């Protein structure tokens, strides 16, 4: 029966933070942990994710706590880039990722995307730890590859430790100002009310054992039941990608349950639910077989805690950040379609639509969510929203504001999306303003300046 214990699945972790804080390099350094020490340890590249099996993890946690008991089979770290990573915080009203790592550059402190990530983590109630990265840049840092960070800090001369303390205090102060309690992880005795900070270097790997240790400790301590393997499918689309030779594919994280080749699947599309059949379930070739001509390994079926690429016909307008369902023998297709659309629409409708306000477009559901939550805080009213490129019909919608005697809101805020030529032309004709940006704060700046000018 479904209530019997089937063991634990691997926790799913995502990495967030401002550009250039070292997210990619940190993940890369984590990936190399065991390679460095002469043992590949079964770390495998998946679609948009890397899987670290228990043996690879055990070696690292031992450096921090000899007696640490590993209860999960491994850890899946998702590595979708930039704004796509916001999709990793989407799953039936909660968070796909069990835990997030928020990377902060110790030299720069809080930056705009750090704050955007913090807001979204809070909204999604996703637990997280902070990697305070680039400690090796501290003047006269004495490095030793892949040591635990407490050992690394105690190795430093006093002046280095002083500089660390000063910079650390600054970051903590900035976080406190945002209402966040936090502590160095080894001084944190209440994980529930205070966020743990792990100082790291993605260059030397110092602090990487601690980061892995904390991921495991927190997920095991705080979310035991949530990590129990379930039969019911839990699968989220994290990216929609065009691949040469395959057409439009979707990258999914399969949290629980099983996907099979030939399964009929249902997922949200921009123009309504998509029903299609899985043509192929793909993961990347193992490293050592990189020279093999075919880039992907095919699977007849795949289960639990995996990053997978799905090739299927008709995925062109699939929406990243939504659920994927499989049609079982006893399922009613119409019900599943409804379930998928409800999930999608509730997100689009789940904000205060104002009779007078700006029109908003974003690249994915995740980035739309981040933008909306920000606009709400800024008290910028929103009239309607959409996903994807700005089209002529969006301009027409924004233009409605002119008829409503709110011409100042004949405005489109476009986040991480392109404006097509036809739309731009229409906007010029209708006198609709379009602001585009890749950072939410930049949209706010543009909007604020625009409103000031308008009111003059
Ligand atoms: P991302 O945009 O967050 O993915 O950042 P990247 O991983 O691309 O890193 C941005 C830059 O910072 C690159 O030049 C990295 O080599 C450098 N960098 C990242 N982490 C560290 C670190 O811990 N120490 C030092 N010295 N440089 C780092
Ligand atoms: Mg990167």
Query: What is the pLDDT tens value at each position of the chain, 456 positions in all?
Result: 456 788 899 999 999 999 899 999 999 898 887 654 444 567 778 888 888 988 889 989 999 999 999 999 999 999 777 777 787 777 766 678 999 999 999 999 999 889 989 988 988 889 999 999 999 999 999 999 999 999 999 999 999 999 999 999 999 999 999 999 999 999 999 998 999 999 999 999 999 999 999 999 999 998 878 899 988 999 999 989 999 899 999 999 999 999 999 999 999 998 899 999 999 999 987 765 445 566 899 999 999 888 999 999 999 999 888 899 999 999 999 999 999 988 787 777 777 788 899 999 998 888 888 898 888 888 899 999 998 899 999 999 999 998 888 889 999 999 999 999 999 999 999 999 999 998 888 898 999 999 998 888
Task: For residue 445, report the distance from its CA to the centre of ligand 2, in Å.
Answer: 25
> What does the alpha-carbon distance between residue 37 and residue 187 come to, in Å, rounded to a whole number?
29
CA–CA separation, 298 and 280 (whole Å): 7
**pLDDT of amino acid 334:** 95
Closest ligand to 81 CA?
A: 2
What is the distance in A from the centroid of ligand 2 to the CA of 22?
Answer: 7
CB atoms < 10 A from the CB of 31, how many? 17
Ligand 1 pocket at CB < 6 A: 19-25, 133-134, 136-137, 201-203
Q: Which residue has the tokens 């029903």?
A: 275
Closest ligand 1 atom to the C-alpha of 18?
3
Closest by CA to 208, choosing from 35, 48, 81, 359, is 35
Cα–Cα dist 17/85, whole Å: 10
Predicted local distance difference test score (pLDDT) of residue 38: 45
- Residue position matching structure tokens 């967030």: 16
Dist CA 50 CA 30 (whole Å): 10
Residues 6+ apart with CB under 8 A from 41: 33, 34, 53, 55, 56, 59
Burial letters 283-296, b for 16+ CB under 10 A, else e: bbbeeeeeeeeeeb
CB atoms within 10 A of CB 173: 11
Per DSSP bridges, beta strands 99-105 and 74-78 are: unpaired
What residue owns the CA closest to ligand 1's atom 16? 25
Which of 15, 16, 18, 22 has the most ligand 1 atoms within 8 A of CB, as the residue to mutate? 22
Pairing of strands 12-17, 74-78: parallel
Q: What's the gap in Å between 19 CA and the centre of ligand 2?
A: 7
**Distance from residue 23's CA to the centre of ligand 1 (Å):** 7
Q: How far is the CA of 21 from the centre of ligand 1 (A)?
A: 6
Ligand 1 center to 136 CA (angstroms): 11
Which atom of ligand 1 lies closest to the CA of 202? 23
Report the alpha-carbon distance of residue 185 to residue 221 in Å, rounded. 14
Give the ligand whose atoms come closest to the C-alpha of residue 103.
1
Nearest atom in ligand 1 to the alpha carbon of residue 200 is 23
What is the atom index within ligand 1 of the atom nearest the CA of 137?
26
Q: 187 phi and psi, to 5 degrees?
A: -110, 5
Note the pLDDT of residue 289.
46
Picking from 271, 270, 298, the residue whose alpha carbon sits closest to that of residue 285 is: 298
Do the strands 264-267 and 274-277 form a parallel or antiparallel pair, or are they unpaired?
Answer: antiparallel
Residue of the CA atom closest to atom 17 of ligand 1 = 22
The ligand whose atoms approach the alpha carbon of 107 most closely is: 1
Site to probe by mutation for ligand 1, drawn from 112, 202, 205, 207 as the one with most ligand atoms within 8 Å of Cβ, is: 202
Contact 304, 9 (CB under 8 A): yes
Report the alpha-carbon distance of residue 144 to residue 148 in Å, rounded: 10
Instruction: Report the side by side order of strands in the sheet with 247-256.
Output: 234-243, 247-256, 306-311, 280-284, 296-299
pLDDT at site 288: 52
The predicted pLDDT at position 456 comes to 82
Do the strands 353-362 and 411-415 form a parallel or antiparallel pair, or are they unpaired?
Answer: parallel
Handedness of CA 435, 441, 446, 450 (dihedral sign): positive
pLDDT value at residue 280: 96
**Minimum CA distance residue for ligand 1 atom 2:** 20
Each residue of 184-212: b (16+ CB within 10 Å) or e? bbeebeebeeebbbbbbbbbbbbbbbbbb
Token code pair at residue 203: 């260059």
For residue 209, report the distance from its CA to the centre of ligand 2, in Å: 21
Between the CA of 247 and the centroid of ligand 1 the distance, in Å, is: 33
Residue that has been written with the tokens 């790291």 in this structure: 200
Choose the residue to mutate in 19, 20, 84 for probing ligand 1, maximizing ligand atoms within 8 Å of C-beta: 20
Q: What spacing in Å lies between the alpha carbon of 19 and ligand 1's midpoint?
A: 9
Ligand (nearest to CA of 136): 1
Q: Which residues pair with 276 in a beta bridge?
A: 265
Q: What is the pLDDT of residue 92?
A: 67
pLDDT of residue 298: 93
CA 132 to ligand 1 centroid distance, Å:
12
The minimum-distance atom of ligand 1 relative to the CA of 28 is 7
């Amino acid at each position: 029966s479904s209530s019997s214990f089937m063991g634990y699945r691997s926790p799913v972790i995502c990495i967030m933070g401002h550009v250039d804080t070292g997210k990619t390099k940190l993940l890369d350094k984590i990936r190399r942990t065991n390679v460095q020490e002469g043992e590949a340890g079964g770390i495998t590249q998946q679609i948009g994710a890397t899987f670290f099996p228990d043996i690879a993890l055990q070696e690292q946690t031992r450096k921090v706590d000899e007696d640490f008991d590993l209860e999960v089979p491994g850890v899946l770290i998702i590595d979708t880039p930039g704004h796509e990573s916001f999709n990793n915080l989407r799953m039936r009203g909660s968070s796909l990722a069990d835990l997030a790592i928020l990377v902060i550059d110790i030299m720069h402190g809080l930056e705009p995307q750090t704050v955007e990530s913090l807001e979204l983590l809070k909204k999604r109630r996703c637990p997280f730890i902070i990697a305070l990265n680039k400690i090796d840049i501290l003047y006269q840092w004495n490095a030793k590859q892949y040591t635990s960070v407490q050992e690394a800090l105690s190795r430093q001369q006093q002046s280095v430790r002083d500089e660390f303390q000063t910079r650390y205090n600054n970051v903590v102060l900035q976080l406190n100002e945002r209402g966040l309690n936090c502590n160095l992880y080894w001084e944190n005795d209440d994980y529930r009310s205070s966020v743990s900070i792990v100082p790291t270097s993605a260059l030397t790997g110092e602090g990487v054992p601690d980061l892995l240790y904390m991921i495991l400790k927190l997920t095991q301590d705080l979310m035991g039941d949530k990590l129990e393997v379930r039969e019911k499918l839990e699968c989220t689309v994290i990216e929609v990608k065009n691949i040469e030779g395959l057409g439009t594919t979707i990258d999914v994280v399969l949290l629980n349950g099983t996907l099979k080749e030939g399964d009929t699947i249902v997922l949200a599309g921009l123009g309504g639910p998509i029903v299609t059949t899985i043509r192929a379930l793909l993961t990347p070739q193992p490293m050592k077989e990189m020279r093999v001509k075919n880039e992907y390994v095919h699977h007849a079926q795949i289960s639990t805690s995996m990053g997978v690429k799905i090739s299927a016909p008709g995925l062109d307008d699939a929406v990243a950040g939504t659920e994927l369902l499989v049609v079982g023998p006893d399922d009613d297709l119409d019900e599943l379609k409804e379930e998928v659309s409800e999930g999608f629409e509730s997100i689009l409708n789940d904000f205060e639509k104002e009779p007078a306000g700006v029109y908003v477009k974003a690249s994915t559901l995740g980035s739309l969510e981040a933008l909306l939550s920000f606009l709400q805080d800024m008290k910028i009213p929103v009239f309607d929203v959409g996903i994807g490129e700005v089209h002529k019909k969006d301009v027409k919608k924004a233009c409605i504001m002119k008829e409503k005697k709110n011409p100042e809101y004949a405005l489109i805020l476009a986040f991480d999306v392109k404006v097509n030529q036809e739309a731009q032309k229409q906007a010029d004709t209708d006198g609709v303003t379009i602001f585009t940006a890749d950072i939410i704060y930049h949209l706010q700046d543009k909007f604020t300046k625009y409103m000031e000018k308008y009111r003059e």
